[in-house]
Structure 1
């Protein structure tokens, strides 16, 4: 296969993990190339995610790098090949912000998801009207067809919660997000009712943090934690003013796991969280 000029996040992650294995083995790119019978430029392209590799090649790399972690090697081998073809490819003709399709692909392959939000309802639990209201608040304003394009993409992402093997999803939402009122009272009321319906799904665990219950860590920054096939391949996604930021350093992942544990422990349990949602829906 020819090199890719625009590798996906998943392809770049495979390359970066192979680079980590090489560095842990104490090998330079030149030494690794000689050991594997390829040139250094090919090693660099593979590690940048620009050059696809086969599962057999990944296993060959792992053997050469003395990696004995079979679960990790199997997970890396499953990430091989070219760009994953999925429903999100339909959205490449009309460009979306960086991270939209990467997030969709990560969720598609994830073994579980966790999230904590202080300002917005999480994307996977938004109604169409709520999502539309959010996109209509973007500055500078989007054209209406751009708004609808993003709304459609967001709704399709939610399929991971409804497939034959539904995605386990644990989400913690601050009361501030539940009261923000995007789209007006009718939209907010329908959104709260939708949260109640979704919280009844066996794969969805919803926690709420009422005012006064807990100081929300991280200055209220929204965070998504995407669980890979092994913990080393987990990913954290943060919403920032300049778009999505994806983090995969092992120490960073450990910090966010602890942070999410803290947030979930300090939140209301699911039954009391639903009671809060019912009360807020009646007040609006």
Structure 2
């Protein structure tokens, strides 16, 4: 197959997983290419995500690497087929590639868990709240850049309403509920939106209140995207410098534990809704 133009994070992840399988089998890329019947450069390009690869070829590589985990191989085969265009591609010339990779990751995730401290979860933001937060960017965004990012953020929310909807758990610190971006009217509408969204059967909204002893996170927004098999889970850390994507086994275990502990420190869903309603009453 021809080289893939502008390999995405998903293609790079497929290549990285195939490289792991080869290395566990104790094969060099030259030996792997010989088994496949092609040049060594083909293996290197596949593993770098530069070449599109078919499902049949992934299965052939897995057989050559003696991988007997059928569910894992099926999941890898499902990641093939070249770069299929998604709605996020319309933003390719206007937004950083990391944001496009985030949208693609959310689109393919089987479940999403997020934890935030001072910002609302992106998938639960109203238009006006999103616009107010974008206007606080440093360096400042120009008006048309704000609107590009707002429309992108709102389109990401489609995963919560698809059929089937992606299960979504959001752990939100009380600090985020009281930030008041955009002023009282915007904040009130945002909190009301949280309440409405928390009633959706696939959305689990949990609040960590002030006064809770202990806090197992640094305050950096965390997204834990569950893949079709545990080996394909991904952690996304959001910062002013962009998105950082983590998928090493130790990293996944660490952030699973962090999110588990944050959920355990949070109020129940009912208690969380009660607290949000109480805060609305103060605005």
Give the Cα separation in 2 of the matches to 1:117 and 1:212: 17
1:188 alignment partner, SS class:
helix
The 5-angstrom pairing of residues 1-284 of structure 1 reads 1-93=1-93, 95-284=94-283
Give the Cα separation in 1 of the matches to 2:151 and 2:134: 11
Contact 1:58/1:77, CA 8 A, preserved across alignment: yes
Please report the RMSD computed on the Cα atoms of aligned residues, expressed in angstroms.
1.0
Give the drift of 1:119: 1.0
Give the drift of 1:2: 2.2
Give the drift of 1:156: 0.5
Deviations 1:163-205 (A, max 9, x none): 1201100110000111111111111111000000000000000
Deviations 1:248-282 (A, max 9, x none): 00111111111111110111010000000000111
2:148 alignment partner, SS class:
helix
Give the Cα separation in 2 of the matches to 1:215 and 1:116: 15
Count of equivalent residues: 283
Contact 1:118/1:216, CA 8 A, preserved across alignment: no
Give the drift of 1:5: 4.4
Give the Cα separation in 2 of the matches to 1:121 and 1:215: 21
Deviations 1:202-250 (A, max 9, x none): 0000100000114332221110001110011000000123110000001
Give the Cα separation in 1 of the matches to 2:227 and 2:81: 18
Q: Which runs of 5+ in 1 are unaligned?
A: none
Give the Cα separation in 2 of the matches to 1:243 and 1:8: 16
Give the Cα separation in 1 of the matches to 2:26 and 2:2: 29
Q: Which runs of 5+ in 2 are unaligned?
A: none
2:150 alignment partner, SS class:
helix
